Chains A and B, each alone.
Chain A
Amino acid sequence: MSKDKINDFVVRFANVNGTGSASANFLFTKAIFRMGIPVTPKNIFPSNIQGLPTWYEVRVSEKGYLGRREGIDLMVAVNPQSMAKDVESVRPGGYFLYDSSKKLNPNYIREDINYIGIPLMEICNANYTDARQRQLFKNIIYVGALAALLNIEFSVLEGLLADQFKGKEKLIPSNVKALQLGVDYIHQNFKYPLEFRLERRDLLKDAIMIDGNSACGLGAVYAGATVAAWYPITPSTSVVEAFMNYADEFRVDEKTGKRNVAIVQAEDELAAIGMVIGANWNGARSFTATSGPGVSLMNEFLGLAYFAEIPAVLIDVQRTGPSTGMPTRTQQSDVLEAAYASHGDTKQVLLFPSTPKECFEMTADAFDLSEELQTPVIMLTDLDLGMNDHVSEPFKWDDKRKYNRGKVLTAEQLDKIQKFGRYLDVDNDGIPYRTYPGTHPTKGSYFTRGTSRDEYAVYTEDGDAYQRNMDRLLKKWETAKTKVPAPEIVGEKNKFSSGLLFFGTSTYAAGEAMDLLKEKNIFVDAIRIKSFPFNQTVADFINDHETIYVIEQNRDAQMKSLLMMELNANPAKLVSILNYNGMPITADNILNQVENNIKLSKTLKSK
């Protein structure tokens, strides 16, 4: 490593799950954030509540690269259980910080890395008597040590503690003391700061830091969702929990204590989506959040909602499948399951956010879209976006914004209509008019069902009527293409013959990969897909390029399949860049796969 690398390194923390390390590690990240430096943390945690190894990886990037990067510059190893593996993962020349209260096992000595031993336990035992305090402050002490080693401003840390313990100010001095103990130990025993370190910048402007799930929960509050039904599943649980917390803040009538919201923990995902459908049918904006196994259970109901044309918003925070897979690892492998959820000819509208800001906005948009199109809208986020904190542009809301409740007839409108037909294509856009139950004494009532019916919602097994209906649904699908968020062309349009295509959290690595490719004289255009159905821009992008690298985080190239099926895209053009080890894809990985493909096609050509 060249000397004096500023704001460009990776620190990994190896902890024991359930020991209070999470808040200490977050303190570290947030301090860097408050110094105006782009930073991105990732939780790498076991599917277990307590006792197992857990890691927290923080990347600092002056250039603003917020994807993962391989190679650990500094390992903070406070879990004896994972120590052997942790030593191995430090890059040559990197640092290994450990608790030197006990002598380091000689097996863990590597010639090519540097060791920073801090007697964390000894310091704790000398300064605190309470057992729980000893454990908690061990974590704060190493944050203090890191502050000295990396040059984190102490006042920033103090400010964070003040915010964290607002109302419980008594707790602040003991925490400050722990930080100071760490700082002092470094000052007395080591050369500091390290050659890679932090320097205050103003690169973040008014950015915020939040996880995607909380952003979705907040988005649902702003969207006017009033009914949420859910069944807990990692990594989606915190979506509804955030919704609940924000609802406590914003939806309780101060005078009466009554709530403008109903949140029900259902008995399972089948009931959760059933409630969502019932509530939307009856005119309340309603949503659920789940992950792959939950979407599998919801399939039958999603088919009903598609066919009976009932709005529903579903936030799928994807994790690795199939089956229970790796519940606490990330993936983008529900694309096909969601796109064609349920039996029969179904197509579901999908949204792919990439940042917390988009989680917020797309959740709000999802309700408009779902009601406008009278169909379920499934938002596909993932564990990486949902459960990790991300630097994000701040949330924005236009106070003039009106909820788009779609084509709903009032009693007065019904009065003017000769005969209401629930499934008539009055406007020739495939979207019919609906009525809420209870609207009018004699007009507008109809039967909602999953069985075939005619334009007046009367049950029929007449093949022509069935086909007319299915064709209208397809017409609605065409209309949807004009309503869903358009893809983003990254950089200039059509400069080169190859293009990257990506969506969701792959965006972080893809942007960085484009720069890495450039350094190797490989030039590409890029498109980020934000929704399904794909609109014309996606088709054009594929048509306008010879090679499309489709980046996705699953084994079976699900997005590529979708592009082939829905756009008739030429499979020979579509090169898959895949990652499915449960960790977020990295820029290096993309670079390697693209390079390999170029080599491969050259050898194929020369043969």
Chain B
Amino acid sequence: MTYVKPKFRHPELKKNKLGYTIDYYEGSLSTLCAGCGHDSISAGIVQACYDLNIEPHRLAKLSGIGCSSKTPAYFLSNSHGFNSVHGRMPSVATGANLANKELIYFGVSGDGDSASIGMGQFVHVIRRNLNMVYVVMNNGCYGLTKGQDSATADHGSKNKSGNTNIFEAIDLTSLALELGATFVAQSFSGDKTQLVPLIKAAMSHPGFAFINVISPCVTFNNNPGSTKSYDYVREHIEATATFDFVPEMQEISVSYKEGSAKQVTMHDGSKIQLQKLSEDWDPLNRQSAMNAILNAKSKDEILTGLIYVDPNTKDLHHMINTSDTPLNQLNEKDLCPGSKALDEVNAGLR
């Protein structure tokens, strides 16, 4: 990296329970365009990990290729990172997770990465309910290859050169719901108050946690007529609920003003506090979540917040019944049947 991050920090930065200040969760200086939505999401991840007292080295961050996929370099420099190939991060994350189920797996992808070249892997990682957080930084265009429309660009949206997109958009959020994702959320890079608790909740979810974050590309898709521009999203955003994530052991002292409240307890004891805005939406009911999205769409609104969660889900390791000890910690003694067993195999082949 040619850029060196200035080391100066306020001497009285607050420390979290592990004794780390927030800068401990940062990465190298971003090389993305100034104002890129992706940087705000990185900042959200930093904040969430700091708040949750995550040991950075116990988290593995994986991505594909694209501006969005570069971001793992910009948060948690004490974590192992993996920029894989374009669109195929889910398989690498799957292998990594199978090898060691004790780490936290954080995947970052773009809409080109996930909705085109990587669509197959995106779909199948959901189907397997891999225990990971999967964030799509969705700007409706290809940033790194300079602005082509992506498959999530809305029908009728204008790109920078003024051309109108004639194709229907692939809506990754509905798709994830449809495919059985056990945690589905949607947010906006410009809404840190909503995004940070969502990331925290996703991290404590014991299965596949998907967050589709609309993240405007200031360079290629922030023009009038684009439905993924800052202005457009701000005007059309509609939250499911005001939202708070309460980590395990923390006193619950959130109070909401209006509407009905809903509390979801995650497997580790942490809680999601929802102050619902919409009466006919239940985040624990897939059908209801689906309806909420469709309703919002019909009104040209972008629904954000936690859309669906199944807090009692069982991940891939449960399904294939792997040992409690992570597979990468087993040795000859656990794995090799030895020469005696081999003699028996030989005998069976005579």
Contact = CB atoms under 8 A, between A and B. Distances in A.
Interface of A: 34, 206-210, 218, 221-222, 224, 226-227, 229, 250-251, 253, 256-264, 266-268, 270-284, 286, 300-301, 304, 394-399, 401-403, 435-442, 445-451, 458-460
A405 to B, nearest CB: 9
A266 B91 contact: yes
A279 B98 contact: yes
Interface stretch (B270-278, B288-296, B335-343): B335-343
14 contacts: A226-B330, A227-B98, A264-B98, A275-B98, A278-B62, A278-B92, A280-B99, A281-B82, A282-B95, A282-B100, A436-B100, A437-B57, A441-B57, A449-B83
Contacts of A268: 120
A436 B328 contact: yes
B349 interface: yes
B83 A397 contact: no
A304 B86 CA distance: 11
Interface string B147-170: 000000000000000000000000
Contact of B323 (A253, A277, A439): A253
Contacts of B335: 221, 224, 226, 251, 260
Nearest to B76: A445
Nearest to A441: B57
B336 A437 contact: no
A222 B336 contact: yes
A447 B83 contact: yes
Given A282-B96, A399-B338, A259 B102 contact: no
Nearest to B339: A397
Interface in B310-350: 317, 320-324, 327-328, 330-332, 334-339, 341-342, 345-346, 349-350
B124 A222 contact: no
A260 B99 contact: no
A332 B43 CA distance: 53
B200 interface: no
B350 A278 contact: no
B301 interface: no
B55 interface: yes
B95 A278 contact: yes
B116 interface: no
Task: Return the 4 tightest CB-CB contacts between A and B, nearest first.
Answer: A278-B95, A274-B91, A284-B99, A437-B80
B80 A267 contact: no
A436 B58 CA distance: 11
B83 A450 contact: yes
B60 interface: yes
A266 B123 CA distance: 12
A347 B262 CA distance: 58
Given A264-B98, A438-B58, A445-B79, 10 more contacts: A227-B95, A258-B321, A258-B324, A259-B322, A262-B327, A267-B121, A275-B98, A283-B99, A284-B327, A442-B57
A271 B121 contact: yes
Interface range for B: 35 or more
B22 interface: no
A277 B57 CA distance: 20
A221 B83 CA distance: 30
A260 B91 contact: no
Given A226-B328, A275-B91, A276-B95, A438 B57 contact: yes
Interface in B27-56: 55-56
A367 B343 CA distance: 22
Max chain B Cβ within 10 angstroms of own Cβ: one of A281, A435, A438, A440: A438
Given A284-B100, A441-B78, A300 B85 contact: yes
Given A258-B323, A441-B57, A448 B81 contact: yes
Contacts of A281: 82, 92, 95-96, 99
Interface in B124-155: 124, 128
A399 B339 contact: yes
Residue in A253, A257, A267, A275 with the greatest tally of chain B CB atoms within 10 Å: A275
Nearest to A273: B91
A271 B88 contact: yes
Interface string B59-91: 010100000000011000111111111001011
Contacts of A284: 95, 98-100, 327-328
A363 to B, nearest CB: 13
Contacts of A226: 99, 327-328, 330, 335
Interface in B185-231: none
A339 B79 CA distance: 33
B303 interface: no
Contact of A458 (B1, B103, B124): B1
A261 B339 contact: no
Contacts of B58: 438
Residue of B62, B99, B317, B341 with most chain A CB atoms under a 10 A cut-off: B99
A566 B56 CA distance: 45
B91 A278 contact: yes
B93 interface: yes
A281 B58 CA distance: 15
A300 B65 CA distance: 13
Contacts of B120: 267-268, 270-271
B94 interface: yes
B350 to A, nearest CB: 6
A445 B118 CA distance: 27
A279 B96 contact: yes
Q: Which of A251, A261, A276, A437 has the most C-beta atoms of chain B within 10 angstroms of its own C-beta?
A: A437
A447 B88 contact: no
A402 B336 CA distance: 10
Given A438-B80, A445-B78, A263 B320 contact: yes
A438 B61 CA distance: 11
